[in-house]
Structure 1
């Protein structure tokens, strides 16, 4: 949809949005360092400090709470040479169904908050990723004393709306797909710098419309340290997804009786992060809080909710949208409200035909708790081109 100009410095691409999220976006847009405007994505909804689905360009400052506590959270998808017919033939030949594959995935990748890897030697591709992160931490003077088990966190999923899925696209080609971020170590980094920003703004008697809009100013030691640690956490999140995908691929190949998973395409993208970009004729720090990079030709993944379709997209470079696009369906109801409204039986009905762990603990992730992904994608038609539409046949979630 064409953006709605909410005021001079706020453009809204969402046809369905709650008043609270709009109010948060207006607060963010009122900050004096915004340039050229804030863009509200089609999946925008109420968040902490600023709405999830807000793209925030800032001159000379960064707002740590706007980046959020799951630094670098995002998606990774891999297209394979396998097809639905190959999967069906394998089940027919072995009698081993998708339930067994789901259990193998759950054994290979630690799920849920606080669950880490018991050792670092189970997979041959893990050591190189850890070595890269260790080297970067030394070079950039990243303080990881708060997270002595960060290495064990690499290759773990987390909980909430994080997931792992086996999907089929519009040609019935098999995709491996998952959603996760920087885990506990990213959270610790974020929480520290949010507190630093709030303390410094308080010391300088800066009046904020919301304390979670506290910012760090370019050229200060605190800003420099945040950017170094932010970049490290973003890289951790990227490699965390890559590690899980490597394990997922190995497990899927073994289940298929193949030597490898026959990867033909890989997309790995953040949707909670900050980086330097040029918008409105100026260099800004662009924070995508629940949004993906949609510069012309850039590929990204936009997931639906549990039990609904997801999309592989290519950016159109829309300047009004700050070369960004939505990161998913966006919540309609809080987790508490979803549990009040829906039951495990409702979830079973919505997940019919999909292999998943049947548990009441996932009721708050029911598709009905989210916006219709078809509406979100219709609103995003000026931001991205859809390349592939995915439907899941296996879903794995942490609690």
Structure 2
């Protein structure tokens, strides 16, 4: 199969291989990638996925291999953010015509959103009383967390156990979907929540101080890095790997609660173990590419090794995909993590109306109020174009269309 990437090369910088044929590639994102490519720690080249767009610190939809160093802002603050999907034994005909009850059951089972007001005693997106399942699963994470906090007490002040099994805000979601064979799936998107955010923010600032201490000049201060062997490197990697485990566990708990809620709502004891995929798309991984051991940072990208299963969601009104990796070495065995935004949240709220949201999410049981207009389908790239641009990275196994969508 012929390679589908565009190659960008500049003297003194790592090459950029971009799977962006037929999709928008904003100038600001390209400039941000050029800054990353100028970093001396980059190995071989940077891979850019078709959902690429400007990010804070580093470009979303990028795969960054680095030698003997990591860039905390490239990993970001939603550490371990990713997807999980489970195929059920239900068929489309088993679902009621009116799915409002299913949506309400999901909303009750999985804390979502955020309450920011002194009039509320508790954030609606966090647990008040920790459920038994959450307390039990927290025990598998607690000892490592305590060791991290002994060295960095600030991290203890985060929302941690009370965010385990909760969804969050923004583009995080919980959906009920139907595939091309009328099988019913549950799919959700979330990460390491408050504790991951604090870990990311904390170490980004430590990395900036390291750069100042050693008088290292950077093309962008947000690209501050921690060198292997430096004071905070091992602590950061330990904390990130813990946050990634928290995120995976977070999704597992939400999935269990969503399955239980759907069984209650439908009054049917279906199975949900036919196929399950749980994958990160904001994380670091120790890997070997192009002759070197390196740290691969996937910032809005999914690992897609030969035969590896992944999930590429779209938006709250269009199709998503269960995919199988093709193991393309030029992409560092990666693919996109979604459709990718073409419009900022602020602009989307200015440009579109509730009527637009209603039209674009027709047939989906979901919120259609002004608070979710920033997630309107038109704010995202065309998913068909995104998938066509990466046909040498993944193959589609299942096509999912949501019928219920719960947004934070």
Q: What is the TM-score normalised by the length of structure 1?
A: 0.94
d(CA) in 1 for partners of 2:400, 2:169 = 22
Structure 2 match to 1:308: 318
Cα deviation, residue 359, structure 1 = 1.1
Q: Is contact 2:42–2:66 with CA below 8 Å preserved after alignment?
A: yes
Deviations 1:10-38 (A, max 9, x none): 11111220011111111111111111110
d(CA) in 1 for partners of 2:18, 2:234 = 32
Q: Is contact 1:250–1:261 with CA below 8 Å preserved after alignment?
A: no
d(CA) in 2 for partners of 1:44, 1:277 = 22
C-alpha spacing 1:348/1:68, structure 2 compared with 1 (3 Å):
same
Structure 1 match to 2:47: 39
Structure 2 match to 1:10: 16
In structure 1, runs of 5+ residues without a counterpart are 92-96
Cα deviation, residue 234, structure 1 = 0.5
Is 1:361 aligned with 2:371? yes
Tell me how many residue pairs correspond in the alignment.
Answer: 389
What does residue range 62-73 of structure 1 map to in structure 2 within 5 Å?
A: 62-73=70-81
What does residue range 95-174 of structure 1 map to in structure 2 within 5 Å?
A: 97-113=98-114, 114=123, 115-121=125-131, 125-138=133-146, 143=152, 145-147=155-157, 149-174=159-184
Cα deviation, residue 79, structure 1 = 0.5
Q: Is contact 2:149–2:156 with CA below 8 Å preserved after alignment?
A: no
Deviations 1:288-317 (A, max 9, x none): 000000111111110001101100011111
d(CA) in 2 for partners of 1:228, 1:262 = 33
d(CA) in 2 for partners of 1:337, 1:184 = 26
Deviations 1:198-228 (A, max 9, x none): 0010111101000110000001230000011
Q: Is contact 1:146–1:188 with CA below 8 Å preserved after alignment?
A: no
Q: Is contact 1:253–1:261 with CA below 8 Å preserved after alignment?
A: no
Cα deviation, residue 261, structure 1 = 4.1
What does residue range 259-298 of structure 1 map to in structure 2 within 5 Å?
A: 259-298=269-308
Structure 2 match to 1:94: none
- Partner SS state of residue 403, structure 2: strand
Q: What is the TM-score normalised by the length of structure 2?
A: 0.92
d(CA) in 1 for partners of 2:275, 2:135 = 23
Structure 1 match to 2:120: none
Q: Is contact 1:41–1:326 with CA below 8 Å preserved after alignment?
A: yes
Cα deviation, residue 376, structure 1 = 0.6
d(CA) in 2 for partners of 1:320, 1:148 = 38
d(CA) in 1 for partners of 2:65, 2:261 = 41
CA RMSD of aligned residues (A): 1.4
Q: Is contact 2:158–2:198 with CA below 8 Å preserved after alignment?
A: no
Q: Is contact 2:178–2:400 with CA below 8 Å preserved after alignment?
A: yes
- Partner SS state of residue 365, structure 2: coil
